[in-house]
Amino acid sequence: MKVQILGTGCPKCKKLAELTDQAAKELGLELEIEKVTEVAKIMDFGVMTTPALAIEGKVVLAGHVPAYEKLKEILVKAGPVGGPDAEETGGCSL
pLDDT tens digit sequence for 7-50: 999 999 999 999 999 999 999 999 999 999 999 999 999 999 99
Residue 83 within a domain:
no
Instruction: Give the torsion through C-alpha atoms of 79, 56, 46, 66, to 10 deg.
Output: 30
- Give the chain's mean pLDDT: 87
pTM across the whole model: 0.81
CATH of the domain at 29: 3.40.30.10
Directed axis angle between helix 11-27 and helix 68-78, to 10°? 60
Residue 82 in any domain: the answer is no
pLDDT at residue 80 above 80?
no
Does residue 52 form part of some domain?
yes
pLDDT score of 84 more than 60: no
Q: Give how many domains the chain has, as a whole number.
A: 1
Residues serving a catalytic function are 10, 13
65-80 mean pLDDT: 92
Domain extent, residue 67, equals: 2-74
Chain centroid to CA 34: 10
Q: Which of 78, 84, 72 lies closest to 20 in space, CA to CA?
A: 72
Q: How far out from the chain centre does Cα 78 lie?
A: 8
Instruction: Flag whether 86 is in a domain.
Output: no
pLDDT of residue 79: 74
Residue 35 within a domain: yes
